[in-house]
Amino acid sequence: MKDKIKIVVFGLGSMGSGIANMILNKKGFQIVGAIDMDPSKVGKKLYEVLGVEENEDNCCVVTNDANDVMKKGFAKVCIIATASFTKVVFPLIKMAAEAGMDVVTTAEEMSYPKALDKELSEEMDKIAKENNISILGTGVNPGFIMDLMVIMLTGVSESVDNINVTRINDLACFGKAVMVEQGIGLKEQEFIKGAKDDTVAGHVGFLQSFGMIEEAFGVKLNNIRQEKEPILTKVPRATEIVSVKEGNVVGCRQLGYADLGERLFITMDHPQQIKPELEDVETGDYININGVPKLNLQIKPEIPGGIATVAICVNMIPLVINSEPGLKTMLDLPIPRAIIGDVRDLVKDKK
Amino acid sequence: MKDKIKIVVFGLGSMGSGIANMILNKKGFQIVGAIDMDPSKVGKKLYEVLGVEENEDNCCVVTNDANDVMKKGFAKVCIIATASFTKVVFPLIKMAAEAGMDVVTTAEEMSYPKALDKELSEEMDKIAKENNISILGTGVNPGFIMDLMVIMLTGVSESVDNINVTRINDLACFGKAVMVEQGIGLKEQEFIKGAKDDTVAGHVGFLQSFGMIEEAFGVKLNNIRQEKEPILTKVPRATEIVSVKEGNVVGCRQLGYADLGERLFITMDHPQQIKPELEDVETGDYININGVPKLNLQIKPEIPGGIATVAICVNMIPLVINSEPGLKTMLDLPIPRAIIGDVRDLVKDKK
């Protein structure tokens, strides 16, 4: 039997701890390092932080000093689940790469980093190749439902006139950071001000999804524009994190548009809110390809954001290990798929 | 500007002529050779056979002698749309490969040829590598909706208990060969006899789809079994090709099952019939992944079989050209996507 695949998890927040749990539930992985800055976690054994039973795969000590684990030969893969932005995760990616680890990150901008950080992307590609490793950003969105799946569905299209993609999802399971990013709990006017000055960030991902679509089709989209609208509630809505009175903001509807030549080619509509069921809003993912043939795909309820992002990050690990070195996107690698058996059977360790 | 990509189309039946038409409607292709055995087509110019206006890309003469066009340097890619079975298309593939052409074929068994013809697959891989070309079999099913799309959807799965895939489609647009294969127009007892002695072939594809799924998940499925049931009509149904009285067979419901270990893992349900709307049967594609999370995908109406098979064959051409040499499946190549602009922009001619 081959050795277990050794993993370092950088970040044990909602996503990072979900990823750690999923990894530990699969055959063939071992988590050998865990990094987090939260003093309530540092110094504890990983299994304590995750609240699971101890075994040989989960008993590393959580550290706040990356140098403890970012060492040559320490692990095969580093998962980075700390932040959304390329510039913020770049130093961590560099550290992991230079320690010879493949990298998978949840950072939304990293799903297509060239969209905003061209030079940094070139640098990451260079670092990856110098260290003979691969780097991938992924997640459910961006990274899967509003880009990869859209591209793939057009594979059966003779011609495409335009594309509409809608993702109506529930944010109730997310933590405080997401509530703030989406402006949840604000009054309408506060949201409008925050949307303007970007303190209400909304969804990070449309520019990355458009970038991936441009590359897939070999075209240049233009007049790319985005809007953020408050979703106001008619009834009180509350989660464990936030309580919203009627009339106030329970979510952010993000809209994105891109033209091809003179005409509108892609419309993305992404209303995210807490407890949509309280106003009978049905969640779902919808992809409409208008062309020959007309294609209407739906996934109802929506692919759940939290679980699915955790899952795709873990599922991509063997494909990232098998990849040739470099900065990669979901377009470059084989299609994602679940890890059903022992992950070691999926690894063709050629590198 | 790069030279146009030169194509030979082998077979000008329903699929082959659809493929030729789609190729001619895209920028950057030229059809330089067309082969068909039908005396009513041989000797005519391609544009005459297709019923389109003449131009420099469609004016080759249809020949029944493959040696006229299967020559070194004559074309970049050969499309083979003549038959469903690997053994039948193999000599044509070999001829194209030895003439230095990449090959894309509609032959259903070629979507995963290892499932039934392991030695022939190895031979094709060897021939492809010797001649520095790539070979791909594809189509909407097998090749896309009941395998590739299923695999991809599990990419966001933390765990998968079992998978149900259903494709309810309309066969009304197809020709006589399909009607015979599916037993349409037979009496119930004739169908049951034909299903037993395989004169009613039903859907060719489940074994290939199961094979692709096995490879994607790195597992061995067992107890793979199939059933064919007649779809009997309560009302008269007719197409241009066939008229069916009430009580007789208007289609074939093919069922496929595969176990993982001791338990049922995949169920495929594929009722194909003419004019389902006459009994208010709604067509559609459905993928249900039972696990964490539970995922329910539907495409309604179904991805239309004829157009979509034409489209995916053409759309895969640049990806096949860009591929490293060998016998490939849809799992090996980047995800399919529509050709939106000039196909030459999608080709990284490294070979």
Query: Is the separation of the CB atoms in B156 and B295 below 8 Å?
Result: yes
**Nearest to B328, CA basis, from B148, B112, B7:** B112
The minimum CA-CA distance between B132 and chain A, rounded to whole Å, is 20
Nearest to A217 among B140, B308, B340 (CB): B340
Phi first, then psi, for residue A130 (nearest 5°) are -60, -35
**Overall average pLDDT of the A78-100 stretch:** 97
Per residue in B136-169, pLDDT tens?
999 999 999 999 999 999 999 999 999 999 999 9
User: Above 80 in pLDDT, residue A349?
Assistant: no
A217–B338 CB contact, under 8 Å: yes
Which phi and psi angles does A236 have, rounded to 5°? -65, 140
Q: In what order do the strands lie in the sheet with B134-137?
A: B62-63, B29-35, B5-10, B77-80, B102-105, B134-137, B326-328
Which residues are CB-contacts of A349 (< 8 A; sequence separation ≥ 6)? A2, A321, A322
Contacts of A331 in chain B (CB under 8 A): 334-335
Q: Where does the pLDDT of residue A186 fall: very low under 50, low under 70, confident under 90, or very high at 90 and above?
A: very high
Mean pLDDT, range B58-64, rounded to an integer: 98
Tens digits of residue pLDDT in B284-301: 999 999 999 999 999 999
Would you state the structure tokens that stand for residue A45, as one six-digit string?
């054994």
Residues of B in contact with A218 (CB under 8 A): 340-341, 345-346
Q: Is the pLDDT of residue A106 over 70?
A: yes
**What is the mean pLDDT of the segment spanning A185-201?**
96
Tell me the average pLDDT across A69-81.
97
Helices B305-315, B14-25: inter-axial angle, 10-degree rounding: 50
The answer, yes or no, to whether residue A249 has pLDDT greater than 70, is: yes
What local confidence, expressed as pLDDT, does residue B173 receive?
82
Cβ contacts of A73 within 8 Å, gap of 6 or more: A100
If you average pLDDT over every residue of chain A, what do you get?
96
Q: CB count, 10 Å around CB of A130?
A: 11
Residue B311 contacts A, CB cutoff 8 Å: yes
Closest CA–CA distance from residue A121 to any residue of chain B (Å):
21
Instruction: Write out chain A residues lying below 8 Å of B340, CB-based.
Output: 160, 217-219, 260
Residue B167 · residue B143 · CB < 8 Å: no
Taking an 8 Å cut-off on Cβ atoms, the answer to whether B335 and A156 are in contact is no
Residues constituting chain B = 351
At B1 the pLDDT is 77
Say if B12 is an interface residue toward chain A (CB within 8 Å): no
Measured between alpha carbons, how far apart are the two ends of chain A, in Å? 19
Q: How far apart are CA A199 and CA A123, in angstroms?
A: 29
Backbone angles phi, psi at B286, to 5 degrees: -135, 130
A-contacting residues of B 172-231, CB under 8 Å?
216-219
So what's the pLDDT on residue B294? 98
In contact, B331 and A335? CB cutoff 8 Å? yes
State residue B241's pLDDT score.
Answer: 87
Whether residue B140 lies within 8 A of chain A, CB to CB, comes out as yes
Looking at residue B349, what is its pLDDT?
64
Interchain CB distance below 8 Å, B338 and A140: no
CA–CA gap between residue A307 and residue A310 (Å, rounded): 5
**Pairwise CB contact (< 8 Å): B335 & A336:** no
Question: Average pLDDT, whole number, for chain B?
Answer: 96
The class of domain B148-302 in CATH terms is alpha beta
The rounded distance, in Å, linking the Cα atoms of B341 and B25 is: 11
Cβ-count burial of A326 within 10 angstroms (0-12 exposed, 13-18 middle, 19+ buried)? Answer: middle
Which residue from B149, B297, B310 is facing A158, i.e. has the nearest CB? B310
Contact B304 A293 (CB under 8 A): yes
Residue range A273-292: mean pLDDT, rounded: 97
Q: Taking a contact as any Cβ pair under 8 Å apart, which residues of chain B between 276 and 295 contact chain A? A: 291-293, 295
CA distance A67 to chain B (A): 30
Mean pLDDT of A289-308: 97
Residue of B335, B347, B349 to mutate, testing the A interface (most A Cβ within 10 Å of its Cβ): B335
What is the structure's pLDDT at A176?
82
pTM: predicted TM-score of the whole model, two decimal places: 0.97
Partner-chain residue, chosen from B158, B216, B298, that has the shortest CB–CB distance to A22 = B158
Contact residues, chain B, for A23 at CB < 8 Å = none
Helix ranges restricted to H, B259-332: 305-315, 317-322
pLDDT band at residue A268 using 50, 70 and 90 as cut-offs? very high
A43 to A6, A12, B76, B263: CA distances (angstroms): 20, 13, 62, 43
Mutation pick from A104, A220, A331, A340 vs chain B, by most beta carbons of B within 10 Å, is A340
Rounded CA-CA distance B228/B56 in Å is 47
Distance CA B294, CA B157 (A): 8
Whole-number Å distance between alpha carbons of B306 and B301: 14
A-chain CB neighbours of B219 within 8 Å are 340-341, 345
Tokens representing A135?
């780097």
Q: How many angstroms separate the CA atoms of B25 and B276, rounded?
A: 31
- The reported pLDDT for the residue numbered B250 is 98
Q: Write the ipTM.
A: 0.97
Q: Given B144, B160, B303, which is nearest A338 (Cβ)?
A: B160
Map residue B323 onto helix, strand or coil: coil
Residue of A nearest to B304 (CA): A293
Confidence category of residue B350, pLDDT binned at 50, 70, 90: low
Beta strands in chain A (DSSP E): 5-10, 29-35, 62-63, 77-80, 102-105, 134-137, 159-170, 222-232, 237-238, 243-244, 249-260, 263-273, 284-292, 295-299, 326-328
| Angle of helix A14-25 versus helix A305-315 axis, rounded to 10 | 50
CATH number of B5-138+307-346: 3.40.50.720
A351 pLDDT above the threshold of 80: no
> What residue segments make up the domains of chain B, in order of their start?
5-138+307-346, 148-302
pLDDT for the residue numbered A350:
62
Residue in chain A nearest B288 by alpha carbon: A299
User: Which run of H or of E encompasses B6?
Assistant: strand B5-10
